[in-house]
Structures are given as structure tokens and as C-alpha cells.
Chain A
Amino acid sequence: MINELLKEGALILILASGVRLATPYLFAALGEMIGQRSGVLNLGVDGTMMLSAFTAFYVTFASGSLALGVLVGVLTGGLMGLIMAVVSVTMRAEQGISGIGLHLFGLGMSNLLFRLSLGAISTVEGFRPLSVPILSDLPVIGAVFFRHNVLVYLAFVLVPVAWVVLFRTPLGLKIRAVGENPQAADTLGVSVTGIRYLCVIIGGMMSGLAGTYLSIGLNNMYVDNITNGMGWIAVALVYFGRWHPWGVLAGSLLFSVVNALQIWVQVRGIAIPYEFAVMMPYVLTIVALAFAVRRAQQPAALSKPYERAEA
């Protein structure tokens, strides 16, 4: 097995597949990270991804327009984010519970709409790979990074964008302030509610992009439970990445490369029980989380609703 793995072709295959698989995690985890930085824990990522995966797929299927599909997928995610914001920011509901509720809503809704509208598995012509001139001809690196579709590139570009926004702009400063000490932000004239709405809605839109990528960028079809728990892993990756865009990138890549590896192991028919192969990435996540994360690093006001104290 090791010999086979060391062949250049196999390695490139696994790494390129890892980059593709990292895309939904990146979208969803970066979005979730922004929400958490503002102090809102949204556990509805998985359900949001499913619903967006369906709406994006359906619109593309019906209209033939990928752009329209992406737009609707993102808007669906934004709407799910808005619901989360209303419940958790305005109504100050327990965030963990409302997020699980949102997830279940997305899960049920996407299944229902799928039954009502399509009923059977259908396929669309999804995004095609777009080779980046010059860069895609580089040995190894070209094949691993620069022969993917536009959504993959977008996901990776969003990493530095998220970093700049969070750490180099007044907006990012406000977001971090609200997530660490909403009272302090409030006394400085920052709208805690406004910032949290913004972040949770953006987070929802990015979960929407993650779902959209699954149905019209990766699989080119829609099936029940298309996310297979990816949204939950994305939440874990935020912790793994210590609420930092580069950390989220590292976590997403590590996780998806291991995932690509186990798929390769299965495809090659190597004699490891397949259940064990499937388990690998998840075991890795749990182990990494146990060692990588200390509570002290999370935004201090994470999952705490804000209210100006009365009396």
C-alpha cells in the first residue's frame, strides 16, 4: 500500500481530491467562524447546507443557469442565517438549541421539497474545471491546486479575505469586540445586534455556498442527506482552527486529505475493513479537537445572548 501511495500519480490524485473536498468545509467553516467571532454559535450549518444544496440544484435543473443556482443557494443560506439571527439575537434563545432546531428544519425541508419537486435522483451539468493559465502547467502543484472549478478557487480566496476583514478593518475590529465583550462594544456606540445579524447572515450565506458546491459543483446531483454530516465537521473545524482563517484552512485541508486518502484506500480495494477507513477522518477530528483546543481561546461571549443589564 505504501509503495502504491508513493507513486506520484496516486499522490497527486489524492491531494487534488483533497483540495476539492476541502471546499465545502472551507465555505461553511469560514462562515461559522465569522458568526462565532461575533459571539453566535450556529449549529444549523448542516441543515443550511442541505437546503441550499437542494434549492441551488433545483433552480439549476429548472433554469439551466448555474449562476442563478448559486444565487438562489446563497440567498437560501442567507435566509437560514436570518432565521437564526432573529431567534438567537433578537429573541435571545439558547443558541445551541436553536441551531439544532435550524438544522432539523433544513434537513426536513430539503427532503420534503425534494420529494415534492423531483422525487427521483436527477443530474445537472455542474461547474466545469477551469484550468488557471500557466499555473496549471506547474508540475504537481498545477494538478493539485489549479485545475478545479470556480467555486473551489473562491473558497480558497475567501481565506485571506476573511483574515483581512477580521484583522485589518474597522468592521473586523467591531466583530471581534462584539464577540469578546458586547457590553464594551455597546458603550462605544457599536450596534451589537447589527453586527451579530450581519455575521450570522454572512455565515448562513457561506453555508449556502458550501451546500451549493456539493450539489452543482462536486456531485452534480441531489440526493437525500447530501451533506453526510459535513456541516457538523465544519463547526468542529472552527474550534480546530482556533477561530482563525489560516487555522480553519489547515483543518479543512488536513481533514479532507485524510478523507481523500480513505476514499482512495477503498477504491483500490486495499484490505482494510471499509468501516475503519470511513471512520478515519472522524477519529482524527476528535483526537485533534481534544489536543488542539483550549476553552480559553474561544470568543469570550460565544453563545451568550446580549442584553443591556437593567437595574
Chain B
Amino acid sequence: MATARPGIITSLEMCGIVKRFPGVLANDGVDFDVRAGEVHALLGENGAGKSTLMKILYGLYQPDAGEILLNGRPLNIASPAQAIRLGIGMIHQHFMLIPPLTVAENVIIGLPSSRRIFVDTDRAARRISELADAYGLQVDPRAFVWQLAVGEQQRVEIIKALYRGADLLILDEPTAVLTPQEVDELFATLRQMKQNGHALIFITHKLHEVMAISDRVTVLRDGRVVGRVATQDTDEAALARMMVGRDVIRTWEKPAITPGQVLLSVEDLEAQSDKGTPALKRVSLEVREGEIVGIAGVSGNGQRELAEAITGLRPVTGGRVIIADRDVTNCSPAEVLAAGLSFIPEGRMTMGVIKEFSVWENAILETHAQPPLARGMFLDFKRIADHTRRLIGDYEVKTPSQETPVKNLSGGNIQKLILARELSRAPKVLVAAQPTRGVDVGATEYIHRRLIEQRSQGTATLLISEDLDEIMALSDRIAVMYEGQIMGVVRGDEASPEQLGLLMAGVRS
């Protein structure tokens, strides 16, 4: 605990940072710096090395080469505890909170108490309220974290860092789980912090956020810095080009299609969450032939339960699910698939594939027992190999071989393999949950193109996504879910982020 605090952080530099993981060069000589009173955005695709760089700064990883200068003095950050003492705070992408504890308890974990061997939650609660007032971070210190909405949980994370006296704050994709309005509130807090002389590092892959909040931008690609500019001297298109290395298609031309008959119909659907609480409250919607219906909403408002209730993975406690005129309510997943459904689950590694299995084994998970892949009770390996080769080729899955375990592929390629498997069954109905989450821009583009092609072929698609941009780009109609209910349905070409954001927050317009 002896490290003296070297005063307020005025500048921080990272020079020539190199970090290797087995088989990957995550950071390859990265330079980065931030000054008090500015927001420096760190932009890059998933896997570009942003998080690794920041985990080095926060003492979670040790760099293989390079140095860190704080206020011009070189130092070594050996642990998060030391980073905290130096005045560095980090808001992690996945919140580092402990749900059964209160807000105040979460804030003071690991800190010495003014009452020596006893905790002093009263004093902590007062200090939390002060910070909350100063920065517009309203939250009840005595509430349990599990009771809080996602936006409030994030405020707790920020308070945790401020409570520890953080001058420099690292925010790792802080907007991923927020509604547009919550993003605005977060940005107001960040501007306040900037004014008070905090140095802020804002990690993101969303271009409009970079333009909205940052003073400078550093772009990372494949572990290297590919550009650093003042935000006022650039625009979204230029940043996208830097981030991906080529021009990016950001809006889609959807061919005009008149939706046909109803292929997926959900009537007054009810289901329970894992905890046994009501997760779906009389949800009704229809998806027609040649139509993409988007389900928008903040994570945890029943989207996962909806997908699972439709696909037979979760018991339906009320209402009906009808696929192509067949009532499949509470049918087994196999029966639902047989009725003409394909499913891209949100848990890519847990539900989408068996990660220890090879590419070909994963490619035939659903069809292995039927001809032509099976001959009697045996697998027909020649046909399976042909089938897999065709899928790999058609869907541009990059894999060393068919025998490669799926866990060795990148997220984008695994998702393409799942897409190949699901779409090759010529589905009448497709339920796609978070199809591009954690996938690089190239693969995202590809997946979007395939979904639109599928629409042209007459598939009825239910697209569940927390990425509002994705929902707005692809959907013919958008339904917004909040606390297990559909708050409203909007036409895709008429929807605005503000309107959707209000519905996502439970405000009916």
C-alpha cells in the first residue's frame, strides 16, 4: 500500500506497448495517450486489441514490451489495486458488480473502513449521494444491485471508480447495453467529468458515439494504431475506412417485397424466466412471408425467453405459437425445426455450436440422422464431406479444414457456419437472436446481406437484437419489448432512434 499517489493525473502515455497471447499478437507496438480534461476515443473492431491495451493500463495484464508514463514519469502497473491507487478507474464492458449486495456495499468492497474492523455503510451512502449529485448519477445507495436497471448499474460502476478517487477513467464499450436516452445521460455525465478535469478513455466501435463525445480518436486495427486524429477533423466514413481498412456498406437497399401469408404467429404468449418470474406477458406478433420483423429492447426484457418459447426450448405457460399453420406450442425443438423453423441462438458458443466438435460435425447437428447424410443407421461420410464443403464455400467460412474444432475459428466464422447450417435447410421461418454480436464488420456485412437475401426468398424472419442500428437497417417492422411486453410496433422506414428509445424505456408514446 506504500505507493504514494503522484498527485492528480495530468497526462498518461503508453509507448510501444506489445502484448502476445498464444498464437495472437494482441498489441503490436501501440502508442496511446490521454490528458486531463479530454475524452480520447479508442476505436476498433472486436479483436483489434482495444480491451487488451486497457487491461494493461489497469494492471490486469503485464505488457511484453513498452512503457507507461504517468505525468511524464515511467512506472509499472502491477495490479488493479495499484492502478486504483494511482487514480485510474475502469468501467468494464461486463459490469463488475455483485448482485446480492447493495449499491453501497458494492462501492466499498476492498476499501479500508473508517470504523476499522466494521463496515460503515452509512458514511459510504452519504458520500455516494454527494458524488451522485455532483455528476448526475442518481442511484439509491441502499438498493440491492439486482433490483437496478442496467443503466443504473452502470452509474454504480462509475460511482465505484469516482469513490476511489479516479482521475482517469477507462470506459470499455459503455453504451452497448443502454437505450439512446441513457446514452445521452451518460454523455452528460462524461462531459461534466471532463470539465472537472478528469481524463477519459472511451472504447467503442460505434462511429456516431466517437463523433458525439470525443476530442481525439485513436483507431486500432489488428493490434496496431492505424490512425490518430482530432475528432473535429474527421467524419464517420473516414473513421470506418480506417477501422476496417476499406469502404464499408452501412445502409442496405432492400428490394421492395409485398409480404405474403403469415408464417410465424405468436398469440398471447406467456412464459417464465429462469427464476420463475413472468418473462413474457401476453406477447402477440406476426411475421409474414418475405418480411423481417425486428425485436428491439434493452437486454433482459424477455427477448431471450421469446426466442426460446418459439423454438421449443422454454415451456409456454399460456398462448400459442403457430409456424406455417401448424400449432407448435410446447412441441419439442425437433418438431419445431421440422415445421420449418431455423434458429440462430444468441449464445453462439453455448447453444449455436458444440465447440469441441469439428466443423463438419457442427454442420450436420440437425440433419445427421436424415438422408442423404445418413444411410440407414450409419453416417455417410462422403456425402457429409460434400455437404460441409458446399456450406463452407457458399458461406465463406474461413477454416483450415473440416476437421478443425469449431472453438479455433473466429467469432465471425463460427457465426457464418451457424448461418450456413440454418439457412441451408431452406427455412420458412428464421429466428435470429443477436446474429452479429461480437462479430467483426466484414462478417456483419455478410450476415446482413444473407438475411436480406433470405427475405427475398420468402423467409419470415424474426430478428432479435440489442443493436438498434442493426434493427433499423434490416427490419420491415420493429416491435419494441419492455418487461416482457410489446410496447409498440413501428414501420422500419418510419422509425427514429428517439422514438424506439422511449419505447425501450417503457414509455408509450
Q: Which residues of A are in contact with B by a Cβ distance under 8 Å?
A: 168-174, 176-177, 180-181, 183-190, 296, 300, 308, 310-311
Closest residue of chain B to A181 (Cβ to Cβ) is B98
The answer on a CB contact under 8 Å between B52 and A188 is: no
Q: Is B97 an interface residue (CB 8 A)?
A: yes
The answer on a CB contact under 8 Å between A174 and B101 is: no
* Least Cβ–Cβ distance between B320 and chain A, in angstroms: 30
- CB-CB under 8 A for A181 and B97, given A168-B118, A189-B110: yes
Most buried by A among B26, B61, B111: B111
The answer on a CB contact under 8 Å between A184 and B98 is: yes
Q: Which of B87-127 contact A (CB under 8 A)?
A: 90, 92, 95-101, 105, 108-113, 117-119
The answer on a CB contact under 8 Å between B118 and A187 is: no
Contacts of B21 in A (CB 8 A): 310-311
Contacts of B108 in A (CB 8 A): 170, 173
Size bracket of the B interface = 20 to 34
Q: Is B29 an interface residue (CB 8 A)?
A: no
The answer on a CB contact under 8 Å between A187 and B98 is: no
Q: Which residues of B are in contact with A by a Cβ distance under 8 Å?
A: 21-22, 24, 26, 52, 58, 60-61, 79-82, 84, 90, 92, 95-101, 105, 108-113, 117-119, 160, 275
- What are 5 contact pairs spanning A and B, CB under 8 A? A169-B119, A180-B98, A187-B60, A187-B96, A189-B81
The answer on a CB contact under 8 Å between A170 and B111 is: yes
Contacts of A181 in B (CB 8 A): 96-98
The answer on a CB contact under 8 Å between A187 and B58 is: yes
* Least Cβ–Cβ distance between B264 and chain A, in angstroms: 32
- CB-CB under 8 A for A186 and B101, given A169-B118, A170-B111, A173-B108: no
The answer on a CB contact under 8 Å between A168 and B99 is: no
The answer on a CB contact under 8 Å between B60 and A308 is: yes
The B interface is mostly helix, strand or loop, or mixed, namely loop
Q: How far is the CA of A184 from the CA of B100 in the complex (A)?
A: 13
The answer on a CB contact under 8 Å between B117 and A177 is: no
The answer on a CB contact under 8 Å between A173 and B101 is: yes
* Least Cβ–Cβ distance between B349 and chain A, in angstroms: 14
For the complex of A and B, the 7 pairs showing the least CB-CB separation, nearest first, are A189-B81, A184-B96, A311-B21, A188-B110, A190-B110, A180-B98, A177-B109
Partner of B98, one of A168, A177, A189, A310: A177
Partner of B110, one of A180, A185, A300, A311: A185
Q: How far is the CA of A84 from the CA of B464 in the complex (A)?
A: 45
Q: How far is the CA of A187 from the CA of B55 in the complex (A)?
A: 10
Q: How far is the CA of A185 from the CA of B92 in the complex (A)?
A: 13
Partner of B109, one of A183, A190, A296, A310: A190
Q: How far is the CA of A308 from the CA of B112 in the complex (A)?
A: 24
The answer on a CB contact under 8 Å between A174 and B109 is: yes
Q: How far is the CA of A171 from the CA of B24 in the complex (A)?
A: 39
Contacts of B119 in A (CB 8 A): 168-170, 172-173
Contacts of A174 in B (CB 8 A): 109-110
Q: How far is the CA of A180 from the CA of B98 in the complex (A)?
A: 6
Closest residue of chain B to A176 (Cβ to Cβ) is B101
Contacts of A184 in B (CB 8 A): 95-98, 109
Contacts of A180 in B (CB 8 A): 98-101
Contacts of B26 in A (CB 8 A): 311
* Least Cβ–Cβ distance between B123 and chain A, in angstroms: 13
Q: How far is the CA of A174 from the CA of B21 in the complex (A)?
A: 30
Contacts of A190 in B (CB 8 A): 81, 109-110
* Least Cβ–Cβ distance between B294 and chain A, in angstroms: 32
Q: How far is the CA of A254 from the CA of B26 in the complex (A)?
A: 57
Contacts of B22 in A (CB 8 A): 311
